[in-house]
Amino acid sequence: MNLIMLSTLLALMIPAIVLLAAWLLSARSYADREKSSPFECGFDPKSTARIPFSMRFFLLAIIFIVFDIEIVLLVPIPTIILTNDMNITLITSVSFLLILLLGLIHEWKEGSLDWSA
């Protein structure tokens, strides 16, 4: 019972000490308007919300998400090759990479990857 009380006391005291130290050691600077306002896609949040949204920014975000998911799906392939049937893994991996390559070619021909304009 004594050990449980000590563990509970430590579990409550350590976060309290960390929070107190962070509060005492923090730089006390007066926040100006720019630092205290949230950053929303480069727009000033205090201005009107009816300004046009950049489609290039949206496409960049979507392409980033697609390639992020692609990496997550490609990382386990070497481990799967060692544990499963080689033929099924090879066909699945090549099919996945072919779909990604076709998507990249489509984005390239569409002009989504051209940032010069």
pLDDT tens, position by position, 76-110 = 888 887 777 788 888 888 898 898 889 888 888 88
**Sorting pLDDT into bands at 50, 70 and 90, what band is 17?**
very high
Please determine, for residue 112, whether its predicted confidence score (pLDDT) is greater than 90. Answer: no
Question: Would you say residue 11 lies in a domain?
Answer: no
Range of the domain at 90: 54-117
* Per-residue pLDDT, 98: 93
Confidence (pTM) = 0.46
Question: Would you say residue 94 lies in a domain?
Answer: yes
**Sorting pLDDT into bands at 50, 70 and 90, what band is 16?**
very high
Contact 95, 88 (CB under 8 A): no
C-alpha to C-alpha distance for 117 and 114, rounded to whole angstroms: 7
Contact 11, 3 (CB under 8 A): no
Question: Would you say residue 98 lies in a domain?
Answer: yes
Largest CA distance in the chain: 70
Question: Would you say residue 76 lies in a domain?
Answer: yes
* Per-residue pLDDT, 57: 78
Question: Would you say residue 72 lies in a domain?
Answer: yes
Question: Would you say residue 70 lies in a domain?
Answer: yes
Domain count within the chain:
1
From the list 79, 43, 64, 69, the residue with the least C-alpha distance to 113 is 64
**Sorting pLDDT into bands at 50, 70 and 90, what band is 54?**
confident
Question: Would you say residue 41 lies in a domain?
Answer: no
Question: Would you say residue 114 lies in a domain?
Answer: yes
Report which of residues 114 and 11 the model is more confident about.
Answer: 11
